[in-house]
Structure 1
Amino acid sequence: MQSLPITREHPFDPPATLMRLAGEGPLHPLSFPDGHVGWLVTRMATARAVLSDARFSARQELRHMPYPHPLGQESMTPAIPGWFIRMDPPRHTRYRRLLTGQFTVRRINQLIPRIEQITEERLDAMARAGSPADLVHDFALPIPSLVICELLGVPYADREEFQHTTATALKLDADRDDVIAALMSLNDFFVRLVAAKRDNPADDLLSGLVQSGELDDEELRAIGMLLLVAGHETTANMLALGSWTLLRHPGQLAALRANPGLIDNTVEELLRYLSIIQFGAQRAALEDVWLDGTLIKAGQTLVVSIPAANRDESRFGEPDTLDLTRETAGHLGFGHGVHQCLGQQLARVEMRVGYTALFRRFPELRLVVPDEEVPLRTDMAIYGVHRLPVAF
């Protein structure tokens, strides 16, 4: 019985075993660490079908973890109020409705000048500090952290606290007690912050949610935690890993420099090609379902492999090739269905602004260590790099 393939042979590619399975078909029996037997989904059409079908649930208490997790079976408990990504409609719908207006294309476009300013300030600081630099610490992590802090109303001065606790909570081989302590610390951080917003509301998302009167403090804390974690971890890793990818594909980078209008395509292709949600999305069957001629039994967990689906050769020609001119519509970098990433427009803008400014400002940017010495985030739920030493 196959367990979830997690060992990467190349930093930019999914595990070879995963791609071999994808070549054999869309569904594969999957062995879980707790003994559960479910299914691995490896083709685009099947992945989209599962993610858009209400018979497959996102509820946390129903889904088995496909990889060893520090909290083990403790992770299979109902999601706390406000943690809407682990809920089904109508509970999910209520929370999402309250937030949707904050992440529209129009609202995000209004933020572009500030995102550009933040980006230029970080590049200024890099230039002043001089070469070499760590692109994660000096560029990729601060930009989305600053942006989400300003959007939520989180003091950026507290970034050391929330970045450390977030990293611990997402680390797959962390000690159980350390993960619990990190989650409690993050919760306490938002206890103080929600109380401060009640006493002194400002023009930010969290203050607006407090003043709406539709959420209690427990819900406000959970939503704040979720948006803060998702709002900086995912984009930070795309900025760093995407920059490395472009440096290692000089022909593609040259094409982007020659034609800056390719930046939108570049962002979408990097999202497809890298697929940083490396272990996919989990769903639990609420009833017996026939899927691609296979009977999925009620209670079984399906792992929808985002990396495999985004390399599906029936959907994307030569999927293992980075091609910034490719038509990428339909990729699963932001998921699919009712749980498609709420902040995807913000992430797109941050990447578009970030890549453009970085390679314009530092045209001689280069890696200063061999590829094999770059520490990969294979130990984290969100893939990327821990550090990226560069010179300019």
Structure 2
Amino acid sequence: MARTRERVVAMKPVNDAIAAATEAERQARNFSFTEDRAASVRGDERDAAILRGRDRYGYDWNHAIRYADAWYAAHVGWNHRPPSKVAERPAYDRGFADGGGDVDDLFDAARRANLAAARSPFPVQPQRTVQSLPSDWPKPSDRPRPTPWPRRVIILGDHPAAALGRAEILERFRETGGRCGGHAIFLTAARGFVSSTETSPEADELTPARADELIASPEQGERLRALLAAIDVEDILVALHGEYLRVLDAHSGALPTCRNRERTRNTPLQVKAHLKLWLDRGREAGSNVGAGHIRWSKATKGLTAKLGELTARYQGLGLTEAIWFRSNRAVRWHGFIDPGGELLDPTLIVGSKARLRDEMARALRLFGGATRFDAH
């Protein structure tokens, strides 16, 4: 027990140093994130107040947050509500006073509320809109309904650093959506936004300085708006990151409001999966595709996939048999016709197990968008 106590005492300076280093790293990371927000179109007055509390009074992250909360409360006419922690009270009181508050004035809250109502709204960046920015868009999924390719748009960067797996994204898009009427827009370092028919391989990557120039140029927003003007957009996929995504965020006001807006992200493997989900949702003119999330499960006799009331089951020996469940009674999928009037075969032969899931999903969506002609 004595040796244990000695060991604890000896390790205390080390543990204290580790805790201090971790806290310093946390504060530096938080302040760095706030600085990036304040410098971009996503920053607001509260971010500026956090940095002002740090630079003017030397506050750490927790006290700078309290300072900014109090400054914002005083600025918009809210009441004085100090924090429960006594150590953070001085920072809150100072922020409240800097925001125009006076706790000794009986009519302070009413005066500030009137000033806030008469004051014009906070100045916003010229390119900022009420819409969500592309960097905040969700990742692609298979839940949205399929969209005709002429109404789908993908935004790429014309440089390998613009998006993870950019070459593969472009190649797969041209093989599917490109030949079916899909639209592609490129963001280049030299010219900004251009059509896929006007672009040529870029030699230079988009630098932060060049990105700032494109952000400050109102011509880029007008160019992006002109490229999208002739398209009845229902589905947009953004395959950008880094400085390319920052430029698109700045000109997001030119993007139309549509049903589906998504963005690829993270590792090349995830980008590949996101792209596949998005490409599978495209449909050619004159065709129907069943929509919804496909649920995969392991059955006792093989792999099973369900889409609504439809079930595709792999029964081995290279056969994928489609079964339709209704009223808990299995009935084979006979009598379904596609939009062209062709009768669909409920049994599908798969030559490779590597394509088993893709073929089962394709069969489910094909039958999901078909019409059951023969009720018996």
* TM bucket normalised to smaller: under 0.3
Which of the two has higher C-alpha Rg?
Answer: 2
TM-score, scaled relative to structure 1: 0.23
TM-score, scaled relative to structure 2: 0.23
Higher relative contact order at CA 8 Å, sep ≥6: structure 1 or structure 2?
Answer: 1
- Greater fraction of residues in helix: 1
